[in-house]
Amino acid sequence: MATRRPRAKRRSKADREFVSEAEEILDAMRAGVADLGDSLDESRGPDPELVNRLFRAAHSLKALAGMFRFDPIRDLGHRLEDILDGLRLDRVRLDASLCALLEESIATFASLLERVGDVQALGESEPAIADLSRRIAAAAAPPAVEADPLARLSVDASLLRALTEYEEHRLRESVRRGRHIALVDSTFEILSFEEGLSELTGAIREHGELISTLPAPGAAPESQINFSLLVASDLPANDLLAALDFPKASVRSVLAGEPAPRAQLAPAAEPDASAQEPADESQALEPPPGETPGELESLRSISDTVRVDIRKLDELMNLVGELVIARGVLGELTLRLQENAATARVGGELAKLHKALERKLRDLQSAVLDVRMVPLRQVFEKVARVIRRLRRELGRDVRLDLRGADTELDKLIVEALVDPLMHVVRNALDHAIESPEERRAAGKDPEGTLSIEALQRGNHVVIAVRDDGRGIDTRALRTHAEARGLVQAGQVLSERETLELIFEPGLSTRDEVTETSGRGVGMDVVRSNLAALGGVVDVESVPGRGTTITMTVPITLAIIQSLIVGVGERRFAIPLSSVLETLLLPRTAIQRSEGRELIDLRGEPLLLRHLAREFDLAAEPAGESLYVIVLGIGEQRVGLAVDRLFGQQDTVIKPIQGPLGALHGIAGGTDLGDQQPVLVLDASAIVDDATRRREAA
Amino acid sequence: MAAANSREDWQALAREAARGVDEAPGEEMRQLLVFQVADASYALPVECVREIVRQRATTPIPRAPEDVCGVISLRGEILQVIDLRRRIGLAPCAPTRRARIVVVQAEESGVAGLLVDGVREVLRTGQSSLQLQGGGDGMVAGLVRRGDAFVSLIDLERVLDLHVDA
């Protein structure tokens, strides 16, 4: 499976590293700005921690661009940092136009990144950046002046002077919101104060916002150190002390809050900005608990992570693949040595070594595979972002339910999944989920639900996108298909076969062309994109109740276990991930119905195809019995009859190069180490053909 | 990226070729790889040739046109191989020891192997000795004079214009 990355081609290694790191930061910023937009919609103040995160991201981006000497990017990063700093210190007010400006800046960043390596194009974008910078500067209007709330605090002025500008702002903000302000004092052993302090700050964060941690001078013995922690909380001082449950701490009230605070602000106690998503997902997107978010955070993630170009991993994978093949040949030679009486002793020793090599190689293989595995989380985040935006644009109330974001897949597959998944999600939002009025009229919850669930099933990952919308109108679909000549007027189709029509080119369940789904990309593209990955897509729909689109993809494209089968003199490899079981049946077990062959698989009819006939090959004369391989792709099952089974082998599937291009029914070729390539069957095409032919019959 | 042995072949061929050609002074020279198919000589510009390898085990492709003899594995790459004999309308013959697969890199069709009966030489020739052949549906784009005989210049894109019958 050749994946092209044309954008990165002409760039130097340093450029590529910069772009990949910068893209990561931009992704995080995009998500942050979307959350910021949400907090605006829900008319609460921006989450200070979120603004902080954004500020740090802009700062890292600026620093990174400076390091790599990408001046236009650095300048823009600098502006963005300014405005986020203003937002952080409440010098700038958050409103819709600011959100739009932030979104625009990020989009501009993204387009700048595309031009990295192209000096001229970078230069051409400078006027646009200057314009954007001007507008950002204009947006930084001074906020309204009010009486300084800090005057109300009963606290030593020296303490207030020790606060940073940001801390002071947070304090002021908390007072304005009527929260209780308290000083938590505690004494720690110098040798172990870090653990004690982090335990205390952790406890504080559960019940309020830690504004500042100040070392307190005082009468502590030399081996001890005092700290004063300035805390804003919805709990009065006494309750806070009880809640902290920290024996060595004392709490004194600096300002009693107002009862019934208007809004909760404590980051930990506040419902998460993405509260509409299930809790386990949204929480995991936050920094891990116990880790103090701060400037050190970004440094840390850089120091224990190595960024690797996926092409290097491809190379590594190929090398491992070649080792695996060489190992196979070694195994055969060993066997030959063992069979010969004269060399049996050497052969035996070699066999032991070979076993050890095999084990280590398997470990190496899975280690390399493991490196390529990434959780689906990043794709889910992208989808969540798009949904938030569409929610605003389309005015639909949609609850998003994401599950299984930790499911891991090969990086290349994850990348290739983005477009199909996005398309399916857009379709659901655009066509499937009705307007709130329509839903109310139908007696449904006015808020629709879109759930995306990923789960691993053997060597595949199944991703189900479920909506509770209007479902697919199969009659309209049928009319449409007849109008396009895809179905004959009198042709009898089952409900399922009619639904499958949505995968035909040029069919959509609605005529309107909209920005969200009318991009000329239909479900046929989703199907072919997934087929290119060796995956399949299924559809289920109940009118009025909703639609489920299920995408099944293999976990990895690299080294896979294959079953080697023989027909006549030919060998073929079948990816084991598509093989459910193999059967040895007497020929008399074959039954016939309407010209099709069936076998009885534990009470269920199983369609039987013959590989020899599929490929017009000369098969061996019919014997007493036959091998049947039960292929399973998605929900479909088909039996494939072959002459012989040669057992399982590790295979590295390579694309077949040449003028014929893609060959139907063949997924690629593989070299098993004997120089004679073996063709790898495309199990999904074979299953597809068989089930389609059933329709045609 | 030719294997070492074929690179040596190349140099030998190139030296040999340099001896036998008369050059018109000042003329832009082209290098052609000349090979044998049946009893005639054919050629391709060397820029199209990636490497030359011995004939090796070929796996037939089901439902492929007869002109495609199958796929080979070349250092892990799986390549389709076209039998040039069949492609130019001749009967196939049993492989000989001199048979080679010329791995070509075409602009549009990508990499492919061409099975030929033997590689002869690299010919340096000027534009003046090249006669383009218009029209026709053959696989030959033109003729090149070589002493008193002609070498047929292969039209690579046309040779590689192959499809699986639906």
B77 contacts in chain A (CB < 8 Å): 654, 657
Question: Measured between alpha carbons, how far is A318 from A321 in angstroms, rounded to an integer?
Answer: 5
Out of A113-122, A338-347, A580-589, pick the least confident: A113-122
Minimal CA separation from B109 to chain A, in Å? 5
Residues of chain B with confidence (pLDDT) below 70: 1-27, 76, 133-137, 165-166
Do residue A323 and residue A419 come from a single domain? Answer: no
Partner-chain residue, chosen from A654, A656, A675, that has the shortest CB–CB distance to B57: A675
Of the candidates A255, A271, A256, which has an alpha carbon nearest to the alpha carbon of residue A44?
A: A271
Q: Say which residue, A282 or A587, is predicted with more confidence.
A: A587
Q: Do B112 and A678 touch (CB under 8 A)?
A: no
| Chain mean pLDDT for chain A | 77
Q: Is there a contact between A559 and A320 (Cβ–Cβ < 8 Å)?
A: yes
Cβ–Cβ gap B73/A322 under 8 Å = no
A319 to chain B: closest CA residue: B76
Same domain, A236 and A359: no
The answer to whether A378 contacts chain B (CB < 8 Å) is no
Contacts across the A-B interface (CB distance below 8 Å): 93
Six-digit token string for A583: 């059967």
Residues within 8 A of B (CB atoms), A 581-620 only: 614-617
pLDDT over 70 for what percent of chain A? 83
Amino acid at A85: D
Partner-chain residue, chosen from A615, A654, A678, that has the shortest CB–CB distance to B77? A654
Tell me how many domains chain A contains.
5
Written as one string, the DSSP assignment of A193-233 is HHHHHHHHHHHHHHHEEEEEEEEE-SS--TTEEEEEEEEEE
Would an 8 Å CB–CB cutoff place A652 in contact with chain B?
yes
Whether residue B112 and residue A616 make contact (CB cut-off 8 A), yes or no, is no
Torsion, Cα of A636, A642, A644, A648 (10° steps): -30
Is position A281 within any domain? no
- ∠ CA A49-A55-A59, nearest 5°, is 145
ipTM: 0.80
Residue A569 in this model has a pLDDT that exceeds 50: yes
Same-domain check for residues A382 and A370: no
Give kind and range of the element (H or E) at residue A524. helix A523-532
Please name the helix (run of DSSP H) or strand (run of DSSP E) that holds residue A18, with its range, or none.
helix A13-41
pLDDT at A519: 34
Residue of A nearest to B59 (CA): A677
How far are the Cα atoms of A95, B42, B140 from residue B135, in angstroms, in the given order?
70, 18, 10
Structure-token pair, residue A151: 């005057």
Residues of A in contact with B154 (CB under 8 A): none
Q: What is the pLDDT of residues A409-451, one digit of tens each?
A: 888 888 888 888 988 888 888 778 888 888 889 888 888 899 9
Kindly state whether residues A435 and A516 are assigned to the same domain: yes
How many whole angstroms separate alpha carbon A561 and alpha carbon A574?
Answer: 9
The runs of H, that is alpha helices, within A68-95 are 71-88
Q: Which residue of A has its CA nearest to B108?
A: A659
Distance from CA of B94 to the nearest CA of A (A): 18
Residues A342 and A225 in one domain: no
**What does the pLDDT read at residue A220?**
62
Calculate how close chain B gets to A629, using CA atoms only, in Å: 20
Q: How far is B124 from chain A (nearest CA, A)?
A: 28
Contact by Cβ (8 Å): B67, B115: no
Q: In the structure, what pLDDT confidence band is assigned to residue A511 with cuts at 50, 70 and 90?
A: very low
Nearest to A472 by CA among A539, A521, A420: A539
Determine, for residues B78 and A671 on separate chains, whether the beta-carbon distance falls below 8 Å: yes
- Shortest Cα distance, chain A CAs vs residue B48, angstroms: 14
Closest CB from B57, B62, B76 relative to A676? B57
Query: Taking residues A95-112, what's their average pLDDT?
Result: 81
Residues 6+ apart with CB under 8 A from A350: A334, A337, A338
Q: Do B112 and A666 touch (CB under 8 A)?
A: no
The model's pLDDT over A23-81, given as tens digits with 9 standing for 90+, comes to: 888 888 888 888 887 777 666 667 777 888 888 888 888 777 776 667 777 777 777 88
Indicate the pLDDT class of residue A572, thresholds 50, 70 and 90: very high
User: Are A382 and A528 contained in the same domain?
Assistant: yes
Report the distance separating Cα A236 and Cα A44, nearest Å.
23
Chain B residues inside the 8 Å CB shell of A664: 63, 164
Q: Would you put residue A369 in left (φ > 0), alpha (ψ -120 to 50) or beta?
A: alpha
Residues whose CB is less than 8 angstroms from the CB of residue B62 and which lie 6 or more positions away in sequence, other chains included: A614, A615, A616, A617, A665, A666, A679
CATH (domain of A673): 2.40.50.180
Name which of A154, A125, A227, A130 is nearest A184 in CA terms: A227
Q: Does A315 touch chain B (CB under 8 A)?
A: no
Q: Which of A102-116, A189-203, A222-236, A436-450 has the highest mean pLDDT?
A: A436-450
Q: Which of the four pLDDT bands, split at 50, 70 and 90, describes residue A518?
A: very low
DSSP assignment letter at A154: -
pLDDT value of position A7: 41
- What is the reported pLDDT for A83? 80
**Residues A129 and A214 occupy one common structural domain:** no
Most confident range (mean pLDDT) of A285-289, A296-300, A401-405, A484-488 is A401-405
Q: What is the CATH number of the domain that holds A246?
A: 3.30.70
Number of H helices, E strands in chain A: 22, 23
CA distance B3 to chain A (A): 16
CATH number at residue A55: 1.20.120.160
Q: Would you state the pLDDT for residue A464? A: 94
Same-domain check for residues A250 and A106: no
Q: What domain range is A237 assigned to?
A: 149-273
Express each pLDDT in A278-337 by its tens digit.
434 333 334 444 444 444 434 333 345 677 777 787 788 778 877 877 787 788 888 888
Q: What is the CA radius of gyration of chain A?
A: 32
pLDDT of residue A571: 92
Please report residues of B whose CB lies closer than 8 A to that of A617. Answer: 62
Residue B74 and residue B53 in contact, taking contact as beta carbons nearer than 8 Å = yes
* Residue A675 vs residue A444, higher pLDDT: A444
Whether A9 has a pLDDT exceeding 50, the answer reads no
Instruction: Kindly determine whether residue A658 and residue B76, on different chains, have CB atoms separated by under 8 Å.
Output: no
| Residue A659 Cα, gap to closest chain B Cα (Å) | 5
Residue with the larger pLDDT of the pair A14 and A582 = A582
Residues composing chain B: 166
If asked whether residues A97 and A172 sit together in one domain, one would say no
CA B115 to CA B103: how far, in whole Å?
A: 9
Q: Are the C-beta atoms of A29 and A37 separated by less than 8 Å?
A: no
Residue A593 and residue A685 share a domain: yes
Largest Cα separation within chain A, whole Å, is: 101
In a domain, A279, yes or no: no
Whether A218 maps to a domain, the answer reads yes
Residue of B nearest to A321 (CA): B76
A640: closest CA of chain B, how far (Å): 16
Residue A278 lies in a domain: no
Would you list which residues of chain B are within 8 Å, Cβ to Cβ, of chain A?
56-57, 59-65, 68, 71-73, 76-82, 106, 109-113, 160-164
CATH topology classification for B4-19+28-159? OB fold (Dihydrolipoamide Acetyltransferase, E2P) (2.40.50)
A392 and A541 belong to one structural domain: yes
Contact call for B63 and A615, based on CB within 8 A: yes
pLDDT at B118: 92
- Whether A515 shows a pLDDT value over 90: the answer reads no
- If one compares A490 and A264, the residue with the highest pLDDT of the two is A490
User: Pick from A531, A532, A472: which is nearest to A502 by CA?
Assistant: A472
Check CB contact under 8 Å for B64 and A663. yes
Which of B65, B110, B163 minimises the CB distance to A657? B110
A268 within some domain: yes
Predicted confidence at residue A609, as pLDDT, reads 92
Question: How many whole angstroms separate alpha carbon A182 and alpha carbon A108?
Answer: 44
